[in-house]
Amino acid sequence: MNALVKTLREGFPLEWISKHRNAIYGLCIVWIVFFHATAINKVYDLYYEPGFRWLYNIVGMGNVGVDIFLFLSGISLYYSFSKNPNTKQFYTKRLIRIVPAVWLIDGIYWFIRYVVLKGDMGNFLSRMSTMRFWITGDETIWFVSTIIVLYLLYPLIYRWLYCKPKGIIWRFVALLALTYGMIALVATCLPAWYDKVEVGLTRFPVFMMGCFAGKYVKECRHINWVFILLAVVCSCLFFVIIHMKVFTGMYKRFFYAFGGVSLTFTFTLFFELCTRITKNPDLGLIKFFTWVGGFSLELYLSHIMLNQVLRLQDFYVKGDFIQYAAMACCALVVAWTAKKIIDIVLKKHTLKLRQQTNEAHISVEQASSDVGKPTFVPQEPIPQEEPHDSRG
């Protein structure tokens, strides 16, 4: 405990975010699964039980988990791209993380439903492209469609923010202002299309925030504990303000970015306190969330797919908690199995990409030493494995 007090006096280590990244991923995907129980399946009965009403308000805000995912994704991508700024290899690595999972988990279901049963090859191919959301507004796997576009934009974002060692903050502010301005412009000039894609488009700013924060997390910077206290207070205010419905429409979506960032710091502090107070780094709760976080993308895809299958069955009862809970457990098994299969199939290719990344990292260091000045790309103070962006 004394060590924790000493650490907090020195400042909040941003590396804790990377340390607990998978646990936060796991917590958020579980939160999102419960959120879909109320938002899609209309499971309300449990929350009318005495002492459970408060839980409905928290579960009903589970979509903020997406903002947390995108913020963490922006942070994780900095690790990857600063280590190997080869755009082609970056794109390859990101697509390998997403596309096989989509095709394996949802592709089989789509093929049976649309090709075998309906003979609709066009529908099947548009879904397999993962871009259907941006064309038709189909929200089935809107998160995947959104994160792929953000991955495509990331090399441009990185080079804009870190083209020079000075002025990073001002370039970030300009980027954020441009992003908000473009969203407002789309909402004004293309309202019909905006209404279809706003759930993804309005999440771009929180990803930009993660892109900016990534540099400081990787450099193991410390921030004043007052800021962390403020983040915890803001997390509480977020729940209150959303519950009171102060914001609506676009402004509500933008406010979720505020909640996503503050909750990331709050959850990080929570997990770190749990490990420090219990003196058990393998605490059961954290271990479970970390485990789930390792295949959170697969769980997102599998629970969406299995829930669609469930709702097509004659025995489906809208609002039945037992049915939804059974489906969620099956989704957990399917997701874990799919992740194992993908890892085995792609093991050789993943090792090759990792070797290329390490070689590129060495080249950057050598080039920096040759010119006699440090590169503006920060190096890891302690050798560590690149964070696994399990959410896409």
381 inside domain = no
375 inside domain = no
Give pLDDT tens digits for 264-312: 999 999 999 999 888 887 788 899 999 999 999 999 999 999 999 999 9
Give pLDDT tens digits for 239-271: 999 989 899 888 999 999 999 999 999 999 999
Cα 226 to Cα 12, 222, 275, 277: the distances in Å are 9, 12, 21, 21
329 inside domain = yes
Residue-level pLDDT at 148: 97
In single-letter form, the type of residue at position 273 comes to L
Is residue 324 over pLDDT 90?
Answer: yes
Is residue 125 over pLDDT 50?
Answer: yes
Lowest mean pLDDT among 7-16, 66-75, 350-359: 350-359
The b/e string for 42-71 (b: 16+ C-beta within 10 A; e otherwise) is ebeeebeeeeeeeeeeebebbbbbbbbbbb
287 inside domain = yes
User: Among residues 32, 152, 143, 156, which one has the least CA distance to residue 91?
Assistant: 152
Residue-level pLDDT at 209: 97
Q: Binning pLDDT at 50, 70 and 90, where does residue 358 land? A: low
Cβ within 8 Å of residue 180, ≥6 positions away: 205, 254
391 inside domain = no
Please tell me the pTM assigned to this model.
0.87
Phi, psi of 44 (to 5 degrees): -120, -20
For 93, the domain range is: 2-370
How many domains does the structure of the chain reveal? 1
Phi, psi of 281 (to 5 degrees): -65, -15
Give pLDDT tens digits for 42-79: 887 766 666 667 777 788 899 999 999 999 999 999 99
382 inside domain = no
Mean pLDDT for 367-378 is: 44
392 inside domain = no
242 inside domain = yes
Is residue 353 over pLDDT 90?
Answer: no
Are 196 and 136 in contact by the 8 Å Cβ rule? The answer is: yes
